[in-house]
Structure 1
């Protein structure tokens, strides 16, 4: 039987754990390569340094004072994945998640031949690794980057892409938004969204934009098959309809990562060794990372 001091300590520990769950958020960001994931996170966290190429998995965090309880700070844990998409299923099960968990898939609107494949792989990895024992609900966000290039596409092509993305978002219960780092209005909206999911109670912006000639923004549950203009569809039916008009690019493999490594040392031999180690990490068939050790100091 516990003594009174031991029981009191147990109660305090439980309350602190519950408070930590309330005040903590987890954001996981994956998707197309070179679409601007790191740039977006740097703007959200107001980092001044130039973003680097993401090597497999990178962690960062943000803190914000809780206005209701000035002593407490809300903490947002952010994981950015830059490795092979077919390795996502190895990463997600060991990812430390809080109760408030947001899974963000960022795709490249300027590459319509591969964006649907990217979404399919990321959604499949999410569904395959979800466990009923997880003490969290996955909130899915489909973030579509490089709108500044996409807006110049042919009108018919934009209609097809937008209709497909809306269908996928509706089918998977996801929020959908278009983004460009080159347009200040879209940057501000993206930062507001990340601030809402990182430090508040989810997406609070109620705006809605479904016009394919404008940057889409549709909250989860705000769209219908009737509004999209297509019959209720499975993912296979959506793919079949999309690829009949925009064929899949078989020359490119969205599961691989081929990014150039910047030379950061005056000695060429050192740069060669670093490039070799980076290639070894990217080509690993399995990923064994003790992620918990990275965040031990937060416990």
Structure 2
């Protein structure tokens, strides 16, 4: 007669955790590559964020080979992908998060970036090339939000988070992964603490821009990607070739597959620049169109590039991009049936307020 286990679900979970810790070792410093090679299940987290209506969902669905019509992202949405490394092996899992709303909901990055998964987190930043006036502001706001959350996670005591993750260790690993020790730019860049991919979307619209404007955008994004130690690629949902290239870069972050080593820096063609394959000497100085760099008072190279870029593409008025305090009034989340019912209830509420106001006035006159 088979033996019936009396262990509860919590007992089994505790036993599994102890088994994993024993495989990790006493110092808790198991390399991420070991998780892939020893046949165990490997899980990674990829956070997609970027320009509002910039094509994040389209790119995500293409990467998952899902033939679905993209829908507006409601705040923060989760999905996952699985991939088998071979026969009779467990499938690796990629936890995929998509942040909607552009910069308005940037605080939600604290949900997918946690102390428990920080060592396997990567970020995909999608920037709408058809709206260059919003490009720098979107990049700056979202990367800052992600960096603040990463700082909080790295500040958590080691026992409360993934013991493999620490900010100095992650930054040194990223720097070694991106540039060799003898690279002249090693002291001039500030790699993002976790792997970062910049995707310029809507290249089909961008390619119709004036050549000088294309050159400014391309050089600026190349500088940003190199400065943060990121890969850079341009895509268009109307081009299967560019989407296939983007899919390989995302798959590299999600499953550790090969990303390809081809490079294209021609502004008239979609850029493809893997991290570590560019240099400040190849990028050149900030592009100037009727701008005297000597008149710009910049604190550092990043600030200088920002000032030059915003001289060419002035950022839109902050009033036009004022964050909506009431999400119900955001057209991104409109629903015809619900909105009509809400409008009717609002009218009934206003009518009720007027009637109550009249009754109170009547009572006041009587007294």
Same fold (TM over 0.5): yes
More strand by share: 1
Q: 2:209 aligns with which of 153, 159, 163?
A: 153
CA distance, structure 1, for counterparts of residue 260 and residue 300 of structure 2: 28
How many correspondences in the alignment? 263
Q: Check 1:204–1:84 CA distance in 2 against 1; reply closer, same or farther (3 A cut).
A: closer
- Contact 1:139-1:174 at 8 Å conserved across structures: yes
Q: 1:92 aligns with which of 110, 114, 130?
A: 110
CA distance, structure 1, for counterparts of residue 17 and residue 46 of structure 2: 30
Q: Which runs of 5+ in 2 are unaligned?
A: 1-13, 25-29, 171-193, 287-298, 325-329, 345-367
Q: Check 1:195–1:245 CA distance in 2 against 1; reply closer, same or farther (3 A cut).
A: same
Instruction: Report the more deviating stretch, 151-160 or 98-107.
Output: 98-107
What SS class does the counterpart of residue 332 from structure 2 fall into? coil
- Is 2:253 aligned against 1:253? no
- Deviation string for 1:253-284 (max 9, x for gaps)? 28666426354xxxx3x3545899xxxxxxxx
Could you tell me which residue of structure 2 aligns to residue 195 of structure 1? 251
- Is 2:56 aligned against 1:37? yes
- Deviation string for 1:37-93 (max 9, x for gaps)? 1111112112233222111000000111121x6231100000000035254235326
Q: Which runs of 5+ in 1 are unaligned?
A: 1-6, 277-299
- Contact 1:59-1:79 at 8 Å conserved across structures: yes
Could you tell me the TM-score, scaled by structure 1's length? Answer: 0.77
Alignment RMSD (CA, Å): 3.0
Q: Map of 1:42-191 to 2, 5 A cutoff? A: 42-67=61-86, 70-83=88-101, 85-92=103-110, 95-96=113-114, 97=117, 99-131=119-151, 132=154, 133=156, 135=162, 136=165, 137=170, 138-191=194-247
Q: Check 1:239–1:170 CA distance in 2 against 1; reply closer, same or farther (3 A cut).
A: same
- Is 2:319 aligned against 1:226? no
Q: Check 1:99–1:108 CA distance in 2 against 1; reply closer, same or farther (3 A cut).
A: same
**Structure having the higher Rg:** 2
Instruction: Report the more deviating stretch, 42-51 or 230-239.
Output: 230-239
1:113, distance to aligned residue in structure 2 (A): 0.9
Q: Check 1:40–1:9 CA distance in 2 against 1; reply closer, same or farther (3 A cut).
A: closer
Could you tell me which residue of structure 1 aligns to residue 21 of structure 2? 14
- Is 2:311 aligned against 1:244? yes
Could you tell me the TM-score, scaled by structure 2's length? Answer: 0.64
> Which of the pair has the greater relative contact order for Cα pairs under 8 Å at 6+ separation?
1
